[in-house]
Structure 1
Amino acid sequence: YAAYDGDQAFSLVWPVEAGVRTAYVKWYAQPDCAILVQSDASGAELSRETIEEPNFNDVYAILPEATGLAISCESGCKIAEVTLYSGGTLPDGVYDWQPPVKKADLLVVSAHCDDELLFFGGAIPYYAGERGYQVEVVYMANGDRARVDEALSGLWHAGVRNAPVFLPLKDVYTQTLRLALINWDEQITTRLLVEQIRRFQPEVIVTHDLNGEYGHGAHMATATCMVNAVPLAADASFDPDTVKTYGVWQTQKLYLHLYSENQIVMDWNQPLAAFDGKTALEVANEAYHMHVSQLDYHSNVFYGGDFSSTDFGLAYSAVGLDAAKNDFFEHIDPARLSSAVAPTPAPSETPAPTATIMPSATPVVTAPEKQGPTLNEAQKQNLLGITSILFVFLFAAAVIVVRKQRDKKQPKR
């Protein structure tokens, strides 16, 4: 990657006959904002745009008369790759991500990049792709560059078009909840989750097992802090700053993977029209296989067995207990949903709310007797080598290569 201070800009130029219409920027680290300046052949400024909260991989439109682009960030930035394209359809693997959703139907909170598929199975392809719901994915840790690209490819394949959120928590493997909460700081983690709930206003949240699936402390901490965050997000006295920014929000339902109470079993084996008859499980497996760095540790999405991606429990409800027990959105008023495919049915009597059902905020966690390879260990084996700054003109005759001294990292074995 190439690093730039706040008073520096990454610049490139091209001949007008190249017909550049799109710049595809892959940030090595996600900046707070970015300033894009386009110029013509004489160097005169054509446009100046400030991009608030750029996506990790972002597509920017280039003016027809532009022959130059400068990218800068007031706080400095690190750019992994820039690719220029002429007009037409973008090639496979170049995704035009939309910003994170304004209002989520389903919020999926994943400790690491790949857990959203490995442990939650067909939830994303079914609800995002098939039912057309607004699904927002939040990753707690593992935001290093190689894993980010894998996550983005997997989510796009599963039907997500709004960029996920990568929280800045450090991925440190532990086998206990106590150590995980020390590493992340329980108060900070809970506050971060409250902020996500208030920002995205989900009807339903899905997250990890209180016991950490195979015993990963980060999974335990994610579930435990989410249990605390759901009621706090509706409490106006908690974290006034995010109340001022987003207001308070009452989530209707919280599901935990493998939770032992109020259990439901999801059927990920039904064919989905949105994916040409493939099942949600098949799509989830295809998406998971885009997490190439993790395939030596888990070859497929868990289906059946101790960590089955079909098994969840209702840990919190403002709309009563499930009856059919086969849909995260059972008892959710369709009028509350932002983008359901089916038309809103005639109003029906809403089930009476039940008392809040909450797991213990400090559950007793027993580490499994035998630990498999951990996600953190897999991360350590990721290739973190440099990514050169590449400029490719598709369907154009001219190729401009801009080189800058890069910081290099040696791959770990």
Structure 2
Amino acid sequence: MKHLRAVLLLLLLAVLAVPAQAAEADWNGTAAEAAGFPSPQRLTDGDRGTYTTAQEGAAVTLSRSGGISALYLEFDRPPQPWTLTDPASGRSVSRGEEGFLHEFADLSALLEGQPETVELRFPAGTVIAEIYAFSPGELPDWVQIWQPPLDEADLLLISSHSDDEQLFFAGLLPYYGVERGLGVQVAYLVQHFEANGVQDHKRPHEQLDGLWTVGVRNYPIISGFPDLYSEGRDRAEALANAQAAYRRAGNSYEDFVGYLTACIRRCRPLVVVSHDLDGEYGHGTHVLCADALGQAVQRAADPEQFPDSAAAYGPWQAEKLYLHLYGQGQVVLDLDTPLDSLGGKSPFQVTQEGFACHKSQHWTWFYKWIYGTKEAPITRADQIKTYSPCQYGLYATQVGPDQGQDDLFEHVETYAARRERAAQEEAERLAAEQARLEAERAAREEAARLQAEEEARAQSARERALLLQMGGAALAALALCILAGILISKTRRRR
């Protein structure tokens, strides 16, 4: 019996020693009152396919027993700044300045607490799809906590459309962003709120979901150019057709070069990657993107070109530009090795999960291109022979040709490595400065010691000289005394 009690006690102690799992944050059960919205029920119906537009004075009051730790808003269109207030404390903060379509708000940090009631006020015209208010606890993994775009990107991927980054550049983002831990920024040539004149309410959300799935955490840069389809039988025709389509929409070739130049200057990338010069399958916008980017990489380094972005960000020279399928300086990436950083999956498999978010595009031939068929599934990037996502070519370089042909960052010192080197150099500089100061202090102390010894010797010499002088004077006085005595003695004898 004693042994049984001992075993039970050990089991109890083992259970108590296991860290308690954090409770999962819950968003159900939040009371919402909305004013100034024509369809307020759409704000919390759990369906971002529905949305409603704020009118003048629009406000939403959210209440939850036990407190609200965080908010997650999914806008249907990029928001204007809006206001978040804790009525109990009177604290109020402005949100939405970044214009994120999916926005997270940590109330514990913003309002210094977890209020049971918060008020959200939106300017007229704000289009909202969904609002979630979470209880304290661990947030679900579908909550996207975006960081602003990078101003020091190791890699800048220029993707024409939402989903191209998951298709023709499959594996690139999880490999370099997650496995290699580099700063990866994505910029899109066109936006998907409108495609060929039709409003789109799905692809902008799919765009962010896909990026989040493959490990991107810095919000993408998205232009204001509409998504217009064009194609051609060859590169020249595709480019001409794309330019004609965009001219009709009021956008010139220089507008695209200027936008891409601004992206490069803003993100200061070391390596830039983009589309095939032939537009992969001849898509005019892909061709336009690659062609304009070739111009932008050169002109971004010239402060006289596009002076507005030069004034805002300064000129910038990227070290390398790779284009998909380019025939010179070819690099073939390994995107099929399972990696611990990706949960045992390969970069390509993670990107397959990323494209799964783009459900509105699953009707296209892209679906079979990246997944294969039930009879012949595609599980590896190297199975794709047409428009292979593994193949790139070095279009421009400031650091010489590649040797290994399997890494886009050959001969490139990443920003993390630069910071580490700078920190090491600073540490060495400080150590050298400290050593110099120590040497100077030691030299001063030695000089002071020598000076003190010299002064001591001089003082001793002065004292000896004084003693000699005093001794001489004493002898002279003694001699005078003796002489005086003799004289006195002689005088007395005469008397």
* Same-fold status (TM-score > 0.5): yes
Instruction: Find the residue that maps to 1:324 and give its secondary structure.
Output: coil
Alpha-carbon separation, structure 1, partners of 2:87 and 2:221: 35
Instruction: Find the residue that maps to 2:217 and give its secondary structure.
Output: coil
- The CA deviation at 1:55 is 1.2
- The CA deviation at 1:335 is 5.5
Instruction: Find the residue that maps to 1:12 and give its secondary structure.
Output: strand
Structure 1 unmatched runs, 5+: 345-413
Alignment match of 2:292 (pick from 196, 215, 225): 225
Query: Does the aligned pair in 2 maintain the 1:103–1:338 contact within 8 Å?
Result: no
- The CA deviation at 1:284 is 1.4
Instruction: Find the residue that maps to 1:213 and give its secondary structure.
Output: helix
Quick check: 1:72 aligned with 2:128?
no
Alpha-carbon separation, structure 1, partners of 2:350 and 2:258: 33
Alpha-carbon separation, structure 2, partners of 1:110 and 1:84: 33
- The CA deviation at 1:337 is 5.2
- The CA deviation at 1:13 is 3.4
Alignment match of 2:351 (pick from 262, 284, 291): 284
1:10-409 map, 5 Å? 10-15=59-64, 17-31=65-79, 33-41=80-88, 45-62=90-107, 63=111, 64-65=114-115, 67-73=117-123, 76-144=125-193, 145-175=201-231, 176-182=238-244, 183=246, 184-297=251-364, 298-299=366-367, 300-301=369-370, 303=382, 304-334=384-414
Alpha-carbon separation, structure 1, partners of 2:419 and 2:357: 27
The 1:329/1:76 distance shift into structure 2, 3 A limit, reads: same
The 1:335/1:163 distance shift into structure 2, 3 A limit, reads: closer
Alpha-carbon separation, structure 2, partners of 1:193 and 1:218: 14
Amino acid across the alignment from 1:222: C
Query: Does the aligned pair in 2 maintain the 1:258–1:312 contact within 8 Å?
Result: yes
Query: Does the aligned pair in 1 maintain the 2:154–2:415 contact within 8 Å?
Result: no
The TM-score normalised by the length of structure 2 is 0.64
Alpha-carbon separation, structure 2, partners of 1:268 and 1:129: 13
Instruction: Find the residue that maps to 2:69 and give its secondary structure.
Output: strand
Query: Does the aligned pair in 2 maintain the 1:271–1:279 contact within 8 Å?
Result: yes
The 1:24/1:50 distance shift into structure 2, 3 A limit, reads: closer
The TM-score normalised by the length of structure 1 is 0.77
Query: Does the aligned pair in 1 maintain the 2:68–2:115 contact within 8 Å?
Result: no
The 1:275/1:19 distance shift into structure 2, 3 A limit, reads: same
- The CA deviation at 1:336 is 6.6
Alpha-carbon separation, structure 2, partners of 1:188 and 1:223: 14
**CA shift digits 1:212-265 (9 cap, x unpaired):** 101110111111111100011100001111111111110000111111122111
Amino acid across the alignment from 2:101: F
Instruction: Find the residue that maps to 1:306 and give its secondary structure.
Output: coil
Alpha-carbon separation, structure 1, partners of 2:404 and 2:62: 60
Amino acid across the alignment from 1:87: P
Amino acid across the alignment from 2:330: Q
- The CA deviation at 1:311 is 1.0
Amino acid across the alignment from 1:40: P
Amino acid across the alignment from 1:171: D
Instruction: Find the residue that maps to 2:91 and give its secondary structure.
Output: strand
The 1:130/1:334 distance shift into structure 2, 3 A limit, reads: same
Alpha-carbon separation, structure 2, partners of 1:339 and 1:312: 28
The 1:229/1:337 distance shift into structure 2, 3 A limit, reads: farther
- The CA deviation at 1:338 is 7.0
The 1:159/1:50 distance shift into structure 2, 3 A limit, reads: closer
Instruction: Find the residue that maps to 1:52 and give its secondary structure.
Output: coil
Amino acid across the alignment from 1:196: C
- The CA deviation at 1:170 is 1.0
Query: Does the aligned pair in 1 maintain the 2:150–2:185 contact within 8 Å?
Result: yes
Alpha-carbon separation, structure 1, partners of 2:85 and 2:189: 35
Structure 2 unmatched runs, 5+: 1-50, 194-200, 232-237, 371-380, 425-495
Amino acid across the alignment from 2:52: A
Alpha-carbon separation, structure 1, partners of 2:223 and 2:400: 31
Alpha-carbon separation, structure 1, partners of 2:266 and 2:162: 21
Moved more, 168-177 or 88-97: 88-97
Alpha-carbon separation, structure 1, partners of 2:121 and 2:418: 35
Q: Percent identity?
A: 36
Amino acid across the alignment from 1:112: H
| Count of matched residue pairs | 337
Highest CA radius of gyration, 1 or 2?
2
Q: Please report the RMSD computed on the Cα atoms of aligned residues, expressed in angstroms.
A: 2.3
Amino acid across the alignment from 1:47: S
Query: Does the aligned pair in 2 maintain the 1:34–1:71 contact within 8 Å?
Result: no
Instruction: Find the residue that maps to 2:393 and give its secondary structure.
Output: strand
Amino acid across the alignment from 2:121: I
Amino acid across the alignment from 2:145: D
Moved more, 63-72 or 167-176: 63-72
1 or 2 for the larger relative contact order (CA 8 Å, sep ≥6)?
1
